[in-house]
Structure 1
């Protein structure tokens, strides 16, 4: 009798320790993106991709027989709202992991929350501070799928060096993403023989940058580097042409998107920027291990789910796919115990994804290098590999 009671108690303890995150036949995965607000053009298709990859995983047997259940949250572009959703995911919904958010500011606002709770979180933000320590706080449980800003800067600077350019001007947004870019642009410039002759900034919601561009023109750079996401980048392109500034414009890795060409129009012609290989998959050599992975992604996105009709593929499109796939692969190995899951994610090596081949380490919670990026150029209102 006592043995039966003991066995029943032991079983109950196991169930309780397992927690709601993996209760029954599902594993809850929190997903928070900007579904409204200024970055909804990124957040909404990211949500659709999250649903697409979860559908694929579930159709293929899920995670050790359990289906993934997405719990969706809209940050509305508000870092405070993002924090509130993260707490809800952790303490009410009892998710096993979190994917998102969309922007660096929101990512930094939930970083302390998920670190304190020990919640594995795979972000889809561009900025590096979410996976930087020191003054930026610990990042034991935080990972991110987009390339680091530092990697994008290195890839861009490699191109500038190859073209023999030595003097550049910076024009960066005064938000978390823009400041992160400015940090790396200034820090890495000497390594690539570059001198920054002017540096200007603008509010991410500003609608005219002619004053900043006029100052930049007077500094006589050989090229202009703009670091922002959203409509502001297109405004810079148009203002440059309106001022008659005959200098090459380089945008950041957050702007390779048909929307950029649509907003900037003819002013975008010739503009260049670092990007994921997703944008030019048909121009990749067949020897590239990413090519079949990207082709499959594009087939599902365009031909099966038809998302491309409303949201044409852009450089952001694969981030949720890679984040969720890596998390699911780690769950298959380690289950949903937070500490074990964190370790499994951190030991991800050789994962060939849409955005690159990931080799995550304790020091690098992104795992992508410069070989995951290419330089694009706008030609005849389309993106092609830059010459």
Structure 2
């Protein structure tokens, strides 16, 4: 009997020791960023921001009294590679959660796997499908920090409606991001009293859209909305600027704001409007805006690291910061580094202030940002300013 009790006590001590040991080990998270390929500029900058943010968190005592270790893999801007790396993070590295990936296509590529394996993922992708449900699949374990495409569409339509614009033409990329934008641009037009007079598709890797610009201009729209990311947005802007006669108002999407667009589009960018995060015009924020101090500190830290020299601040810059911030808030609310507890905590977070907005999530809304998290920008004298 004594021997049996002794063995039981030893097992209890061993179990307690294992819990203690786990409680002192680093919290291991995974990260998927495109550090090569077509969106490498965004992905590499995101990795640097995530590292910068975690370094500060660890210096301040970590999360739940534990440091955070991040295992990072390059998705090479390839959805197939993203899925392979997600598997490695889960099956080999044993991470608690994943931050990233960078693009909507890669996000959709890993989602089925991470949902089936119940891995919390906080994505830094622009498109809605990752958290749209329905035909796009469940999203119980999937969250994202950039505003939904539908939110950006609403911000654009609110502005156009205020300007008295009632007819638009659409030029959307043929990739997942562009087609996600097209879906919402068409679906929400009636709500704002806007008619879509014409639409064209663009290959985001092409270098000339003159034919599409001409066709759309012939429909006589008051405004043309261009929905793409990367250099193609600037190329299309130049193509419209080169058309003869009166030009429609050009509107870019929320994936465009940044120095690169101004550089590539040059004088053709003058007067172009677009929705963006508040990081693009912090000086215009009211002093009582809860985001202002967070954004200004982020800019200060980013600049101090020297990241801006190679990766100038743009609307994407804060996404990795926000993902890490939500992860920290979720773990602190959960009170434990456990996947289900973290997932449950993430979808009920309220009032988490980030660079991209103030996040208030629900089980139905795994983004938690509204149109008030965005501002409308206008290019004036080669600079981004608040649009009227």
Q: What TM-score bracket applies, with the shorter chain setting the length? A: over 0.9
1:206–1:232 CA contact under 8 A, matched in 2: yes
**Cα distance, 1:14 vs structure 2:** 6.8
Matching residue of 1:301: 302
Q: 1:186 is matched with which residue? A: 186
Distance 1:149 1:7, change over 3 A: farther
Residues 48-72 of structure 1: per-residue CA shift (max 9 Å, x gap): 1101110111011101221111111
Compared CA separation, residues 2 and 352, structure 1 to 2 (3 A)? same
Q: CA deviation at 1:287?
A: 1.7
TM-score (norm 2): 0.96
- Alignment CA distance shift 1:61-1:215 (3 Å): same
The answer as to whether partners of 1:231 and 1:260 remain within 8 angstroms in 2 is yes
> What is the alpha-carbon distance in structure 2 between the residues aligned to residue 203 and residue 40 of structure 1?
19
Provide the rounded CA distance (Å) in 2 between the counterparts of 1:29 and 1:11.
Answer: 28
- C-alpha displacement at 1:270, in angstroms? 1.1
Determine which of 11, 24, 32 is the counterpart of 1:9: 11
Contact 2:100 2:124 in 1 (8 A): yes
Kept after mapping to 1: 8 A contact 2:23/2:66: no
Report the counterpart of residue 54 of structure 1 in structure 2. 54
The answer (yes or no) to whether the contact 2:329–2:352 under 8 Å persists in 1 is: no
2:264 equivalent to 1:283 = no
Counterpart Cα distance in 1 of 2:185 and 2:124: 21
How far, CA to CA, are the matches of 1:178 and 1:301 in structure 2? 30
Runs (4+) of structure 1 exceeding 2 A deviation are 1-19, 22-25
Change (3 A) 1:73 1:252: same
Match of 2:235 in 1: 235
SS of alignment partner, residue 254 of structure 2: coil
Over the aligned positions, Cα root-mean-square deviation in angstroms equals 1.6
Residues 342, 10 of structure 1: CA spacing in aligned structure 2 closer, same or farther, 3 A cutoff? farther
* Gap change, CA 1:15 and 1:231, over 3 Å in 2: farther
- Deviation of 1:4 (Å): 3.9
Deviation sequence 1:30-79 (CA, Å, 0-9, x none): 11111011111111111111011101110111012211111111111100
- CA distance in 2: counterparts of 1:322 and 1:158, whole angstroms: 26
**Structure 1 contact 18–337 (Cα < 8 Å) conserved:** no
Q: Is the 8 A contact 1:63 1:331 kept in 2?
A: yes
Task: Measure, in 2, the Cα distance between the counterparts of 1:108 and 1:12.
Answer: 42
Following TM superposition, by how much is the alpha carbon of 1:3 offset from its aligned partner in structure 2, in angstroms? 3.2
CA apart distance, 1:329: 1.8
CA–CA distance in structure 2, aligned partners of residues 185 and 373 of structure 1: 17
Give TM-score, length-normalised by structure 1. 0.96
1:175 aligned residue: 175
Give the gaps of 5 or more residues in structure 1.
none
Q: Which residue number in structure 2 is paired with residue 327 of structure 1? A: 327
Partner residue in 2 for 1:135: 135
- Structure 2: runs of 5+ lacking an equivalent: none
1:93 counterpart SS class: coil
Partners of 1:57 and 1:67 lie apart in 2 by 8
Q: Does 1:65 align with 2:65?
A: yes
Give 1:242 deviation, angstroms: 1.8
CA deviations over 1:271-317 (Å, ceiling 9, x no partner): 11000111100111112111111111111111x21211111110011
Number of aligned pairs? 384
How many angstroms apart in 1 are the aligned matches of 2:82 and 2:6? Answer: 47
